[in-house]
Amino acid sequence: STQEKTPQICVVGSGPAGFYTAQHLLKHHTQARVDIYEKQLVPFGLVRFGVAPDHPEVKNVINTFTQTAHSDRCAFWGNVEVGRDVTVPELQEAYHAVVLSYGAEDHQALDIPGEELPGVFSARAFVGWYNGLPENQELAPDLSCDTAVILGQGNVALDVARILLTPPEHLERTDITKAALGVLRQSQVKTVWIVGRRGPLQVAFTIKIPRPRKRLTELLLQTATEKPRVEEAAHLASASRAWGLRFFRSPLQVLPSPDGRRVAGIRLAVTRLEAVGEAIRAVPTGDMEDLPCGLVLSSIGYKSRPIDPSVPFDLKLGVIPNMEGRVVDVPGLYCSGWVKTGPTGVIGTTMNDSFLTGQMLLQDLKAGLLPSGPRPGSAAIQALLSSRGVQPVSFSDWEKLDAKEVARGQASGKPREKLVDPQEMLQLLGH
Nearer to ligand FAD (CB atom), residue 52 or residue 282: 52
Strand 33-37 with 8-12, pairing: parallel
Q: Are 137 and 129 in contact (CB under 8 A)?
A: yes
Residue 338, marked binder: yes
Residue 79, marked binder: no
Footprint on this chain of ligand FAD (rule: CB under 6 A): 12-18, 37-40, 45-46, 50-51, 55, 58, 81-83, 101-103, 105, 127, 156, 159, 302, 307, 337-338, 345-347, 350
Residue number of the CB closest to ligand FAD reads 15
Nearest approach, Cβ of 302 to ligand FAD (angstroms)?
A: 6
CA distance linking residue 98 with residue 129, whole number of Å: 31
Nearer to ligand FAD (CB atom), residue 81 or residue 142: 81
The residue type at 19: F
Nearer to ligand FAD (CB atom), residue 228 or residue 348: 348
Nearer to ligand FAD (CB atom), residue 17 or residue 74: 17
CA distance linking residue 430 with residue 138, whole number of Å: 25
Using CA atoms, how far residue 13 sits from 16, 41, 55, 257, 289, in Å, is 9, 12, 23, 41, 43
Nearest approach, Cβ of 116 to ligand FAD (angstroms)?
A: 23
Nearest approach, Cβ of 55 to ligand FAD (angstroms)?
A: 5
Number of H helices, E strands in the chain: 15, 17
Residue 82, marked binder: yes
Nearest approach, Cβ of 159 to ligand FAD (angstroms)?
A: 5
Nearer to ligand FAD (CB atom), residue 191 or residue 344: 344
Nearer to ligand FAD (CB atom), residue 82 or residue 150: 82
Residue 60, marked binder: no
Q: Is 142 helix (H, G, I), strand (E, B) or coil?
A: coil
Nearest approach, Cβ of 3 to ligand FAD (angstroms)?
A: 26
Nearer to ligand FAD (CB atom), residue 252 or residue 333: 333
Q: Is 361 helix (H, G, I), strand (E, B) or coil?
A: helix
Contacts 24+ apart (CB under 8 A), 316-320: 317/342, 318/104, 318/342, 318/343, 320/100
Residue 196, marked binder: no
CA distance linking residue 339 with residue 262, whole number of Å: 34
Q: What is the DSSP string of 191-245?
A: EEEEE-SS-GGG-B---SSSSHHHHHHHHHHHHHHSPPPHHHHHHHHH-S-EEEE
Nearest approach, Cβ of 122 to ligand FAD (angstroms)?
A: 11
Residue 305, marked binder: no
Residue 230, marked binder: no
Nearest approach, Cβ of 208 to ligand FAD (angstroms)?
A: 9
Residues forming the annotated binding site for FAD?
Answer: 17, 38, 46, 82, 338, 345-347
Residues forming the annotated binding site for NADP(+)?
Answer: 153-156, 197-198, 345
